[in-house]
Structure 1
Amino acid sequence: MSKDNPEAFETFEFDLPPIRGFPELRWAGKRPFKSTQYFPAQKKESYGDPTDGWWNRIYWGDNLQVMSHLLREFRGKVDFVYIDPPFDSKADYKKSIQVKGATASNDHSSFEEKQYTDMWSSDQFLQFMYERIILIHELLSENGVIYLHCDHRKSHQLRCILDEVFGPDNFETSLSWGFQTRSSNKSSWKKSHHPILLYKKGGDPVFNHDAEMVMEPLSETTIKKYRLEDEVGRYRLNGRFISGSPIKGAKDVDPSYETTHPELVVRDYLREGKVPNDYFFVDMENQSSSVRTNYPTQKPEELLFKLIKASTNQGATILDCFMGSGTAQAVAMKLGRKFIGADINLGSIETTCKRLCGIRDDIERQDGELFSGEYDDKPKKFYTGFEVYNVNNYDLFRNPVEAKELIREAMELQPLPPSSAFDGQREGYLVKIMPVNRIATRQDLNEVINGLDFKAFERRKAETPNKPVERIHLVCMGHEPDLGSHLTLEAKKSGFDIEVMVTDLIRDKAHLHFKKSSDARLAIENGELVIAGFFPMNLLQKLSLESDAVEDWRQLVESVKVDFHFDGAVLTPAIVDAPGKDELVAGRYVIPDDAGTIRVKITDLLSESWEGEIKNG
């Protein structure tokens, strides 16, 4: 760590094994990815209860940093990865924002909000995917698999990268997912399928070839060939009974087989009229679907059902680090699998949390079928509790105690005795974390100066008279320009030379985005929490509306979450009010008798949130 260019968030590094020298794809600026740094996670919200001690996890942050965080606990422990990453489609993916209850004729009642941009230079995209595939490889268990969903634009290049990282011998297959699509282009083939590349880590992966919905129906022609002939369950091929397995041609037909057991025929040939093809048709979720989220890249649940059922058993750990609308997480919860999800888009986090809360409620109420139709191997145990974390999107200003713990963890500080005025030690420096909710001033140094051990300084000065007696590192959100020199001067007044380094955690203010903050009014009336008003200023600005131009503030709200016992750090909602597309939140909620500090989170149609609290009694 250089004194002139300190890096406060230098962290513990995970070494990654070298790529094994398989034929590789080259691109301009290709960089080896040999190590990654650990990033701490800040727990923000908690829903439900753990099952056998397991909490599902949702992370908001860059998935490279999220997976770097996961390496500490989950290296070699993830059973199944599905990713639907950017396709380099050269498109902006937008979500239609419509004021609830507004008609199409209303002026300024709707607009399109960009969720993310899928525009890259080819080299940037390939380096982006290369680094993430390497981390996925490290997280997978020895018998784990990855399904990488792509399209015609980059599938050939992504397969080369997967070959390089996983090894070509671990390529299992390329599935073909067909779907309905509209096209007015009559000059070429209509693009109506996506390839899904399947690789194993290297061991013996699970494959449940006989799972319901994994299997595809046989053609009518094939079924006629293997037509049931009698009550014993014998099948015929070209008028003669089938012989042993496998059938390769006429030489395998054996009349004596009519006296043998027919169950092998069922198992090996018919499987009740279905086979696990590597191509299948699954239509998109239509607008009337009960699981439709209006997220622009949502994939159908049946697609993820097929993949998860085929390649995992109950209790397996599922990871999707390009989470989007949370389809993989939703299906995992319904199928009794554990899951981890991540996305850099805050809209994805809010969409997924709302979706998972609905599924959790359905499971707890046992409210009908979780999927359309029956399926085998229904879960004996559901993992419905989940927590939401930030990784490198830290909210350092709400809880100063938690903020210091995050910085300690991120900097890998060595602990000091509780009596010390410093927060830890690192690379020979005593580290002091200054106020986290404002810039540090000279007045803030009093605690540091009063904590200096001048008796120890005298001993060190006698031992090494030509060296500083101490090295001190001040970590700030921002600081007055003479902060370090003032501390040095105060020490010199006592006859001691100390070395001081100052680091700002927030340096590059040119990249900070300042937007109008939201506001809300809370009240308690007759034993009820009442949201008296909500003013999402950024949303109103995009709608070109003033706050008094909206008939009902609830028209602008996606969800309301209420924690009646807020602990000052983690939101644990007792109420999640997230109604359907055309319904409004209640806005009034009965307060339990033992309620303390009530924390309210209101999320608007842009997935931006306001949080505030009110004391009960």
Structure 2
Amino acid sequence: MTTKDKASVTAKIGPVKGRPMLSWVGKRALSRVNAFPAQLMETYHANGAPTESEDDRWEDWPAQYPKGGLLFYGDNKEVLANLLTSGFRDKVNLIYIDPPFDSAADYVRQVQLRGTAKEATLEGESLSLGEQIQYTDIWTNDNYLQFMYERLILLKELLANDGSIWLHCDWHKSHQLRCLMDEVFGQEALQNEVIWQRTDPHNDAKGRVGRIHDTLLWYSKGEKVTYNWQEVAEPLSEAALKEYSLTELENGDRVPYKPELEGQGRRFKLDDCTYKGNDPTRRFTWRGARPSNKRVWPYDLEGMEAALERGELFLRNPEKGAARCRVSYLDEREGQVLQSIWTAVGRMKGGVEYPTEKPRALLARIVQGFSNPGDLVLDCFIGSGTTAIAAQELGRRWIGCDINKGAIQTTSRRLQKTIAIQVERAKAPEQYGFEDMEDELPVPAQTSFSVYRVNDYDLAIQHNEAANLACEHIGIDRTKTDGFFDGTLGTGSKQELVKIVPFDHPLGIMDLEEVRRELEARGGEETRGILLVCVGKELQADHWLEEWNKHRGIVKLDKMNRPMEFANKIRVIELRTDQQYGKFFVHQPAQADVRVDRADGKIRVEIEDFISPTIVERLGMDAGDTSLFKARITDWRAMVDSVMIDPDYDGEALDVALYDVPESKNDLVKGSYELPAPDSGGPVTVAVKITDMLGEEVLITEELAANE
């Protein structure tokens, strides 16, 4: 498949299943969706962990993605489209989403700099339009419904036929979201509406009853659905236990249960032994009792007596028959099937960074009860990452996505810690209380994960990788044999030569003069147009282009005396502003002063200084007034959330060997590091990625010569 093919691929969307239930301005169902390429940013491998196994569950894993967890940074609509065209259609076994509730609440992260007072608390990163839609939770009703409608349609396409989707909502939109789910999945697909008591009763609601619950809507895709009720069965209530009012002693006697008989026999209760039916041979009087209307005995008269003799049935009064006489032992009861009101899976206490963070027990119940080990779990509103953490801990594969960079940052940090604990626990289970309980240790489905961007690309990268992304986005065929132009667009007489202008500067006169000199040097290249792709252009470039294109319409005769238009017209696609392709965004990185060297088989990294212009701006300081800044932020490490180091960077994606993220907000990164150098002893490139407290990143690379 060529780059052009990949860029132009669309995912066809099946029709929604239910009849329309809601109408709003601008309502439209998806019939197809364009997919943007994904840019690999980092990979994480737990030290000492084996690579992902080659068992059946990875057999149909899309080849373009590594086997392991996938974490995407970008608009979830575009991420879901990417997954559809990458081979994940009908592959996701469980979806949990906790979307914005349209509650007029502001969910922007509140971030406190490390080791500082609360006066240095910042509002989270400035939000793009997409982030405003997903996280400030204040858009109009019509926009919200269309936003959710489109994403539910895409999720249905990804869900496996035996899979489940759980949608978490509250009183603001639960009624409308249920209508949307009915329309997309079909009314018959509703399995349950579950009420979760998210907080304890409070006394702050004087004009209304207290709002202490959220709603979980459970829908399936096909007729069969995965539900491991035994895995999530609840203990019997006191009322249910009281029903087991009889005890079968070791000598076979059956007597009323008393606490002092505990441990001396088997506790049991009596259930109805009749069942629905109209067989006249099973409707008879047995020891003075007859089944109720439209019910029959399980056996004929002789069979009833035999069942009584072998203990399957029991009569408190042997002379008086009864329908409720089937023996049901407590020790054979696997627990109480989940009910539709959940009160024992934690409360939503939230956190400093994510006030709507859900308890891990809630997500663990959903993951364990409605998927199997090795299944694929998806959360496209990943937030602080609790769904991915629950899936990782329970041996499921997972995909997470969020448009908020801080969410990806937090999720990545939590996953690193979780996987590291799993790997260490597998090495020494006795230290974790698993001496003889290896079967109870959930086997991780993966011990690595990768982080990708979709659409919101980081263009502060090597030119070749940036050119690949731009070509894939626009549909350009790369040309490996041309030393100047990067590829071609179009076919026949309308084909254009394409040049990707390096993304570290806008298109200027010098770039245009390079194109002119190249065309003059080639000769004979007179008919094809020229396409320049850039992130923006200088004002002087417009005048140069106007003059150049003014003279490109001259008609000449070729060697066969046929009229030939002297073309070489130049057109420009600005990736920031172009109406069709303008969806690339350049991140303005922070600045860091990093020293890297190698000696005695070790790589040493020393971060000497770091500054985040975004943090300086948020603190209301003038970036040029360094004295005020230094007085307020005395240690640059207060601005840094994490440090990642790849000692053998390949120029494309980080393979993180060292990850420094302090446990407490009062702790600081070390800033000075030492790690083993690559065994080859040859020249290497060391990459250091520093992420500030707002999620802004800076990547520093240093080339080290071979060992002498």
Structure-1 residue corresponding to 2:489: 425
Measured in 1, the distance between the counterparts of 2:629 and 2:276 equals: 74
Q: Deviations over 1:32-58 (max 9, x none)?
A: 322210100110111017513612111
SS in 2 for 1:152: coil
Structure 2's unaligned 5+ residue stretches are 1-5, 54-65, 128-134, 258-266, 278-289, 298-303, 314-325, 558-564, 621-627
Distance across 1 between alignment mates of 2:92 and 2:354: 26
Number of the residue aligned with 2:609: 533
For residues 617 and 224 of structure 2, the distance between their equivalents in structure 1, rounded to whole angstroms, comes to 55
| Correspondence for 1:462 | none
**How far apart, CA to CA, are the structure 2 residues paired with 1:370 and 1:425?**
62
Opposite residue 545 of structure 2, the aligned amino acid is L
Q: Which amino acid aligns with 1:520?
A: A
For residues 526-546 of structure 1, the C-alpha deviation after alignment (integer angstroms, 9 at most, x for no partner) is 763111122223223333560
Call closer, same or farther: CA 1:475–1:401 in 2, change over 3 Å: same
Which of 241, 256, 259 is residue 310 of structure 2 equivalent to?
259
Note if contact 1:80-1:312 (Cα within 8 Å) is conserved in structure 2.
yes
Residue 297 of structure 1 aligns to a residue whose secondary structure is coil
Within 1, Cα distance between the matches of 2:274 and 2:417? 47
Query: What SS is found at the alignment partner of 2:573?
Result: strand
Give secondary structure in 2 for the equivalent of 1:569: coil
| CA distance in 2: counterparts of 1:284 and 1:422, whole angstroms | 55
User: Residue 521 in 1 paired to residue 604 in 2?
Assistant: no
**Any residues of structure 2 matched to 1:316-465 within 5 Å, and which?**
316-366=375-425, 378-414=441-477, 418-419=481-482, 421=485, 423-426=487-490, 428-437=494-503, 438-440=505-507, 441-446=511-516, 449=519, 454=524
Superposition CA RMSD, Å? 3.9
Greater mean deviation of Cα atoms: 577-586 or 168-177 = 577-586
Identify which range, 134-143 or 268-277, moves more after superposition: 268-277
Q: Would you say the 8 A contact 2:497–2:528 is kept in 1?
A: no
1:12–1:520 Cα change, 3 Å: same
Cα distance in structure 2, aligned partners of 1:21 and 1:285: 33
Aligned match of 1:38: 35
Deviation at 1:101, TM superposition (A): 2.8
Distance 1:37 1:375 in 2: 46
Which letter does structure 1 place at the counterpart of 2:23? R
1:408/1:424 contact within 8 Å kept:
no
Same amino acid, percent of matched pairs: 32
- Name the counterpart of 2:59: none
1:221 pairs with 2:239: yes
Would the aligned equivalents of 1:415 and 1:425 in 2 still touch at CA under 8 Å?
no
8 Å CA contact 2:575, 2:583 repeated in 1: no
CA distance in 2, matches of 1:276, 1:376: 25
In the alignment, is residue 204 of structure 1 matched against residue 204 of structure 2? no
Q: TM-score, normalised by structure 2?
A: 0.74
Q: Structure 1 residues 473 and 260, CA, compared in 2 at 3 Å: closer, same or farther?
A: farther
> What CA distance in whole angstroms lies between the structure 2 residues aligned with 1:559 and 1:430?
44
CA deviations 1:558-598 (Å, max 9, x no partner) are 21111111111211111111111232222111142338222
Q: Contact conserved, 1:216 with 1:280, CA < 8 A, in 2?
A: no
Whole-angstrom distance in 2 between the partners of 1:215 and 1:325: 27
Q: Deviations over 1:188-246 (max 9, x none)?
A: 111111111111112411110000xx222322111110246136799999996335488
Over residues 357-414 of structure 1, what are the superposed CA-to-partner deviations in whole Å (9 max), with x where a residue is unaligned? Answer: 001110111176699xx99864234312111111111122321111111122222334
The one-letter amino acid paired with 1:531 is: I
1:297 maps onto 2:356 in alignment: yes
The match for 2:212 is 192
- Code of the residue aligned with 1:124 in structure 2: it is N
Q: Which amino acid aligns with 2:52?
A: T
Corresponding residue number in structure 2 for 1:460: none
**Could you tell me which residue of structure 2 aligns to residue 497 of structure 1?**
566
Aligned-partner Cα distance in 2 for 1:430–1:548:
56
Task: For structure 1, list consecutive stretches of 5 or more residues without a partner in the other structure.
Answer: 1-8, 458-468
Q: 1:137 aligned to 2:156?
A: yes
**Residue 241 (structure 1) aligns with:** 270
Query: CA offset at residue 308 of structure 1?
Result: 0.8
| 1:21–1:550 CA distance, 2 compared to 1 (3 A) | closer
Distance in 2 of aligned mates of 1:280 and 1:375: 30
What letter matches 1:129 in structure 2?
M
Where 1:361 maps in the other structure, the secondary structure is helix
Pairing partner for 2:669 from 570, 579, 585: 585
Instruction: Note the alpha carbon deviations across 1:5-55, whole angstroms, 9 max, x for none.
Output: xxxx98432222233461421112212322210100110111017513612
Q: Aligned match of 1:486 in 548, 551, 567?
A: 548
Mean Cα displacement is larger for which, 316-325 or 475-484? 475-484
Deviates more, 1:111-120 or 1:79-88: 111-120
Normalising by structure 1, we get a TM-score of 0.84
Query: Within 1, Cα distance between the matches of 2:274 and 2:612?
Result: 67
Kindly indicate whether the alpha-carbon contact (under 8 Å) linking 2:38 and 2:453 is maintained by their aligned counterparts in 1: yes
> Match of 1:133, as an amino acid?
L
Aligned partners of 1:318 and 1:140: how far apart in 2? 10
Indicate the residue corresponding to 1:120 in structure 2. Answer: 139
Residues in 2 aligned to 1:177 and 1:273: alpha-carbon distance in whole angstroms: 20
Match of 1:474 among 524, 532, 546: 532
Count of paired positions:
587
Contact 2:458–2:586 (CA<8 Å) still a contact in 1?
no
Using the alignment, how far apart are the partners of 2:123 and 2:460 within structure 1?
32
AA aligned opposite 2:120:
S
Deviations, residues 473-496 of structure 1 (Å, cap 9, x unaligned): 433333422437626847959864
Q: Which residue of 2 aligns with 1:51?
A: 52
- Structure ID, larger Rg: 2
Instruction: Tell me which residue corresponds to 1:552.
Output: 635
Letter in 2 for 1:407: A
Which string of whole-angstrom CA distances, capped at 9 and with x for unpartnered residues, describes residues 467-525 of structure 1? xx545543333342243762684795986432744322222799999998522221247
Contact 2:457 2:586 in 1 (8 A): no
